[in-house]
Homo-oligomer: A and B are copies of this chain.
Amino acid sequence: MNTPQPSLIVVGTVAFDAIETPFGKSDKIVGGAATYAALSASYFTPHPGIISVVGDDFPRDFLNVLSAHGVLLDGLEIRSGEKSFFWSGRYRADMNSRDTLETQLNVLAGFQPRVPEPWRRTPFLLLGNLMPSIQMAVLDQMDVRPGLVVMDTMNFWMETALTDLKNVLARVDVLTINDEEARQLSGEYALVAAARKILAMGPRYLVIKKGENGALLFHGDQVFFAPALPLEEVFDPTGAGDTFAGGFIGFLAATGDVSFENMKRAVLYGSAMASFCVEKFGTARLIHLSRNEIDDRLRQFIHLTHFDIQLED
């Protein structure tokens, strides 16, 4: 039997989280950017491959869950005698900001990513939120530059590794960050001005995520706005951005179309996936979804935003 080839590669953490929200407190549960992104992508494209590292404390059962979703784990290094990356945090009452309570780098401290040889011509690459030098090391190992490289990052790397971050940014096609990070990276308050500066740093596309206030897609002078679905309740925002990025690139990999029109659809599918993610702690809501449930959220987007105005030219 031939080992399947990945349809896209996801680089990022596979880890443990402990989360407190105004609605409750989780145990130590599975999290990590690559976990959320690969699960999300798996609903669109058959075989997302993960590049990451865990310790031997990571539950075998959860690796089986990933495999059952078609996720390929040949790029996941398991270090015996070491512990997986751990993060704990507490969300504030408005759920839009959070405080880190504890970070244990563990296996991540000395992580040197290795792209399996048969994966080095994969056409879609998601550089999930991780130290920029690790993102770069993955990009450097590709034999053929992927047709589409999407990068996620966060303010922490802007403060501690800005030069590396900008070097990666110069080599990617799409950057996804949140509004505060866009302001920090550009030094501009207005998002239109921030987007112009960031697009000048390299990427052809920029997605600015605004949480419950939706997302903006910038490309040249074009802008597309996708609202977030108004939800009854947001239970746990952890992983929503990674889930968005996974759904976004998963949809693009599935359709093989990286036009602006199709990127709009990808933003909506990414937002739909994020809307599931926040409904339960951790990855719980991402484990059992049907394509029908996902399409139902798309129908909700259509109803939410549809209007009909006739204007003379």
Contacts and interface: CB of A to CB of B under 8 A. Distances in A.
Contacts of A309: 265, 268, 298, 302
Contacts of A214: 213-214, 227
Interface stretch (A50-58, A165-173, A190-198, A282-290): A190-198
Given A190-B233, A193-B232, A225 B305 contact: yes
Interface string A191-227: 1110000000000000000100110100000111111
B230 A223 contact: yes
A224 B307 contact: yes
B268 A191 contact: no
B298 A191 contact: no
Interface string A274-313: 0000000000000000000001001100111111110110
A94 B190 CA distance: 10
A229 to B, nearest CB: 9
Interface string A225-252: 1110011111000000000000000000
A27 interface: no
Contact of A216 (B190, B230, B234): B230
Contacts of A226: 307
A223 B307 contact: no
A47 interface: no
Contact of A311 (B192, B298, B307): B298
Contacts of A117: none
Counting from the closest, the 9 A-B pairs by CB-CB distance are A213-B213, A225-B227, A264-B307, A192-B230, A225-B304, A295-B311, A190-B233, A192-B232, A305-B305
Given A190-B233, A214-B227, A302-B311, 19 more contacts: A94-B189, A190-B231, A190-B232, A191-B230, A192-B230, A192-B232, A213-B213, A213-B214, A214-B214, A222-B303, A224-B304, A225-B227, A225-B304, A226-B307, A264-B307, A265-B309, A268-B307, A295-B311, A295-B312
